[in-house]
Amino acid sequence: MVRYKHIKERIQLHYANLSKNHKHIADFFIENFDRIPFLIIQDVAKANNTSVASIVRFTQKVGFSGYTEIQNEIAVTLQNHLQKKETFPFLHEAKIKEDVLTEVAKQDISNINETLSLNERENFQKAVDLILASNRVFTVGLGISHLLSQILSYQLSQVAIDSYHFIFDSASFLEQVLFLNEKDLIIALSFPPYSKETIEAAKFASDKKIKIIAITNRESSPITFYSDVVLVIKSKNMLFTNSFAAISVMINAIATQCAVRNKRKAEKMLKEMNKIQEIQNNTIADI
């Protein structure tokens, strides 16, 4: 992940000064990061409706000697990812009859294992730093990501973070970003199939100098190109959907760490919530 971060930062550093054609190529590299080691330069040129020479010039513009060097760097990154070791073993010695319940549990535990190994703790703390430093936090996502963005926003509000979630209704995500400023923060959840609306909102927010935390399934997903911090969550599922077990762990961890770092405000919020609950209970008792 460190090597990929280096590659991504190189591209981002030069992105604003790239030509329209080279920006298109940059987007292709980010969105197809895990395919690059298996593509010859002619394949990349064809996919971008451009020439081999243009691909070479792009790689040189972003700090590499040519296509071969950036391809090799990406290949090493992917190889390192495959060598990650499991850190939360699933009772390998237990003699459990294989069934759907067991298989699903094993898959979710595997997702949690990979998530733990992929995320550097320093990067996780940086995400929490951005949340605590912001005036307001806005969560965004579509599909299962919309549901999870609501849960994350709710959990953050419970620990005294001024948090809201974007509603995909009469106003588009882009229109809602219009009301944000540089002191705000967006947490964007983006999992396959990647929502175009979420990615466009992240790009628009990034152009407005708004900080963005991406919660996504891989370092090379489209949303990462516009994000300041990326938290990678494995969401493999036996169904044709994303499992949210590891995502829930990350959401809970973020809210918990915010509470630990912001203990005084979190405790005050808890007391206020308890008072509200008591008032509601008394009102019900009087009816």
CB 139 within 8 A of CB 190: no
Domain ranges of the chain: 2-82, 118-271
Q: What are 121's two structure tokens?
A: 């703790």
* Choices 1.10.10.10, 3.50.50.60, 3.40.50.620, 3.30.420.10: CATH for 2-82: 1.10.10.10
CB 66 within 8 A of CB 59: yes
In this structure, CATH architecture of domain 118-271: 3-Layer(aba) Sandwich (3.40)
Using only C-alpha atoms, the chain has a radius of gyration, in whole angstroms, of 21
Closest by CA to 8, choosing from 81, 64, 79, 66, is 64
Mean pLDDT of the chain: 85
Q: Tens of pLDDT along 141-183? A: 998 899 999 999 999 999 889 999 999 877 899 999 999 999 9
pLDDT confidence of residue 264:
82
Q: Tens of pLDDT along 36-53? A: 888 999 999 999 999 999
Closest by CA to 12, choosing from 174, 206, 183, 177, is 206
pLDDT confidence of residue 80:
61
pLDDT confidence of residue 94:
44
Within 13 Å of residue 19, how many CA atoms lie on the same side as its CB?
9
